[in-house]
Amino acid sequence: MILGGCLCGACRYSTDAEPLNVRVCHCHRCQKATGTSFLARVLVPLAGLSFNGPTGWVSSDSGLRRGFCTRCGTTLFSERQSAGAIGLSMGSLDRPEAFEPTEHIWTSSKQPWLVINDGRPQYLEGSPV
């Protein structure tokens, strides 16, 4: 079971689905949307996710919509409905230590001071898979 929620506790989510992948995205959109240098997320099937609380959604021109708590602003989700999948922001997980990213994507946009030397594959743009 994967459990998580926002900083203030108003939003909670859960799924018993196995992750489809775990990635770190360094694209400018993820940087802007989260206010950080990258977004680490666990991708799961949308169909198995249940959530409640005051969730707001913002759509982007890339076909992705992002979910956040409307009370505290915590970034919770990055959803691509056309793929039937939703990314759970790693920082919102109750047990983020249970998941390790397998790769870094959009490293062409990573911050120049960030040195990635964790041995995981790095892709200048999206994953080739």
Q: What is the domain partition of the chain in residue ranges?
A: 2-109
Q: φ, ψ for residue 29 (rounded to 5)?
A: -65, -45
Q: How far apart are CA 67 and CA 59, in angstroms?
A: 9
User: What's the whole-model pTM score?
Assistant: 0.91
For the beta carbon of residue 22, count every other beta carbon within 10 angstroms. Answer: 18
pLDDT in tens, the chain (129 residues): 999 999 999 999 999 999 999 999 999 999 998 899 999 999 999 998 999 999 999 997 778 899 999 999 999 999 988 889 999 999 999 999 999 999 999 999 999 999 999 999 999 998 887
For domain 2-109, the CATH class is mainly beta
